[in-house]
Amino acid sequence: MHVGCSKTGTSSLQAGLWMSVEALAAEGVGLPYVGRPAHIAGLLRPLGWRPVEGFAGEHRAKALAKVPATIRDTAGDLLLVSNEDLAEVRPEDVDAIAERCDEAGVDLHLVLTVRDWAQQLPSDYQQFLKHRLADSYPDFLGDVKERRGPWADQFWRRQDPIDILDRWGRAVDASRMHVIVVPSYSQDPEGVFNLMGEVVGFPSAAVTRPKGSVNASFGVVESEVFRRVNAALGDRLPDYKRDYTDAVRWPFAHGVLARSASPKLTLPPDHLGWVQERARQTVATVRERGYPVHGDLDALVPGDDSARPLPAYDEAAVAEASITALANYAASAARRKPS
């Protein structure tokens, strides 16, 4: 079970896995759930998962009862589930999954993909913008550092490797909890595919590589436009799935708001010290507990050259990006209009 972390190449990896069902089956690897909707319907919602809120609801007993049959009916000597939301599970969710795996007669192994927080902090901030975050990036960084507020709580819950391993450790022995340190995509775009194949036990070549970037980042100006739209919306579009996703998240993430048109968000130098210290603690704990590690564990500690001052932008740049987004939105709305 690959449970995240979010923003560690999971979108590209999963797109590749879901395009490669037959090739993986030929290698003896089965996928009980193919596609994100299948994971949501078959596993997440039965565990009480809700969009944005995460695992906040009660378990659905009838739906959970179907999980063992889904596992048993999937052919393969090895079965692979990949969903980064599972990094945020509660202890009772871990127990429920473990019980269903036992009922299905399979041994549960865990795979956790991780990256250094100099990359994760700006990446996850942009992901939270899609969840209606309206805080500025500097405020978000300050809250994460102090572990203050719901957005910071969610970041730690889905990005702190030790916390995730602790929660899953109630059901999985340390020897079966694999930590993959994902190299930077720009340095090694094949890294997450090769390391996952190594851990699970399939040739990396069996997985089709998606073309282009599956979940590219926004630039600093485009992120600010997204943030201001969230702030201006306030309490409007209250139903996230029915209203906000269709009206804002989907069009913004698929072409209305330009990707990487301006410089990328960075980790500012004044946050490097605490990020490095936290990473050193994580590395020491992983080594002490003896989790199998794949990749360079020391790469979790950002180097001194990882921090850079935030790119500057002015109101004219924000205005221009906003007008471009508005024009793109109008064109997109016209294309979606029924004929």
pLDDT (tens digit per residue) in 48-102: 999 999 999 999 999 999 999 999 999 999 999 999 999 999 999 999 999 999 9
Tell me the CA distances in angstroms from 143 to 5, 135, 324, one per residue in order: 20, 10, 31
The whole-number pLDDT of residue 214 equals 60
Model-level pTM? 0.94
Q: Inform me whether the pLDDT recorded for 147 exceeds 90.
A: yes
Mean per-residue pLDDT of the chain? 95
Residue 204 included in any domain: yes
Contact 288, 246 (CB under 8 A): no
Whether residues 292 and 332 fall in one domain: no
Residue 199 included in any domain: yes
Contact 219, 263 (CB under 8 A): yes
Whether residues 103 and 191 fall in one domain: yes
The whole-number pLDDT of residue 213 equals 62
Which range has the worst mean pLDDT, 144-153, 205-214, 241-250? Answer: 205-214
Residue 95 included in any domain: yes
Residue 141 included in any domain: no
Q: Inform me whether the pLDDT recorded for 216 exceeds 90.
A: no
The whole-number pLDDT of residue 329 equals 94
What does residue 307 show for φ and ψ, rounded to 5 degrees?
Answer: -95, 140
Whether residues 202 and 80 fall in one domain: yes
Whether residues 103 and 126 fall in one domain: yes
Residue 144 included in any domain: no
Confidence of residue 259 (pLDDT cuts 50, 70, 90): confident
The whole-number pLDDT of residue 14 equals 97
- Nearest of 21, 37, 40, 26 to residue 80 by alpha carbon: 21
Q: Inform me whether the pLDDT recorded for 197 exceeds 80.
A: yes
Residue 119 included in any domain: yes
In the predicted model, what is the mean pLDDT of residues 287-310? Answer: 97
Contact 151, 142 (CB under 8 A): no
The whole-number pLDDT of residue 334 equals 83
Whether residues 160 and 181 fall in one domain: yes
Which range has the worst mean pLDDT, 40-44, 302-306, 333-337? Answer: 333-337
Crossing angle for the helix pair 137-146 and 150-159, to the nearest 10 degrees: 70
The number of domains in the chain is 2
What is the percent of the chain with per-residue pLDDT over 70, rounded to a whole number?
98
Angle (nearest 5°) at CA 176 between 172 and 177:
80
The whole-number pLDDT of residue 215 equals 61
The whole-number pLDDT of residue 185 equals 81
Beta bridge partners of 294: 180
Tokens of 43: 């596993």
Contact 302, 272 (CB under 8 A): yes
Residue 2 included in any domain: no
Q: Inform me whether the pLDDT recorded for 108 exceeds 90.
A: yes
Whether residues 153 and 250 fall in one domain: no
The whole-number pLDDT of residue 258 equals 86
| Number of Cβ atoms within 10 Å of the Cβ of 234 | 9
Whether residues 259 and 126 fall in one domain: no
Q: Inform me whether the pLDDT recorded for 156 exceeds 70.
A: yes
Whether residues 224 and 119 fall in one domain: no
Q: Inform me whether the pLDDT recorded for 174 exceeds 70.
A: yes
In the predicted model, what is the mean pLDDT of residues 134-148? Answer: 98
Whether residues 69 and 187 fall in one domain: yes
SS3 177: strand
Q: Inform me whether the pLDDT recorded for 337 exceeds 80.
A: no
> How far is C-alpha 75 from the geometric centre of its chain's CA atoms?
27
In the predicted model, what is the mean pLDDT of residues 196-221? Answer: 88
Q: Inform me whether the pLDDT recorded for 339 exceeds 70.
A: no
Whether residues 124 and 231 fall in one domain: no
Whether residues 50 and 155 fall in one domain: yes
Confidence of residue 336 (pLDDT cuts 50, 70, 90): confident
Whether residues 75 and 95 fall in one domain: yes
Residue 232 included in any domain: yes
Confidence of residue 261 (pLDDT cuts 50, 70, 90): confident
- Residue 43 lies in domain: 10-132+149-211+269-301
- Nearest of 109, 116, 169, 157 to residue 296 by alpha carbon: 116
